[in-house]
Amino acid sequence: MNVVLDTNVLVVAFSRRSPHHWIFQRIFSGSLHISITTEILLEYEEVFERMFGAAVAETVVSALPDLPNVQTISTYFAWQLVSLDADDNKFVDCAIASGAAALVTEDHHILSLRGLSFPLINILTIAEFSEMEMQKNP
């Protein structure tokens, strides 16, 4: 399954003490496929540097694009679906362009797009994504 992860998801999954660390582990083990854009990668780097330091940010950001289960895509159309926080549009656009099975986020601006009939985007919280993955891989 290919998903797009909002930065807030990757951040909370980073710590080994986090109940969501399985997400980070599955990315680096190759069992979770994710799509990113250069813009998303730059945001990951910015936030990781601010929260965990430059060395951690560099390690994570340099490793991600080289993983065989990480697809770096280009978006050719800006849907502009998130009006209250335009910076969130990069995740929505990536999910649409990559045909992702889900966009996983805790951001209320993105979550407000649920129920949108077009373009169809499966937007999940971490808890919903976790439940879905547990059903798939008991």
List of domains in the chain = 2-136 (3.40.50.1010)
Spatial separation of the C-alpha atoms in residues 121 and 100, rounded to whole Å: 8
Rounded to two decimals, what is the model's pTM?
0.93
pLDDT digits (tens, 9 = 90+) for 58-93: 999 999 999 999 999 998 887 787 777 788 999 999
| 104 membership: H or E segment, kind and range | strand 102-104
Spatial separation of the C-alpha atoms in residues 124 and 130, rounded to whole Å: 9
Q: What does the angle CA 18 – CA 20 – CA 36 come to, to the nearest 5 degrees?
A: 120
**The dihedral sign for the CA sequence 111, 18, 135, 41:** positive
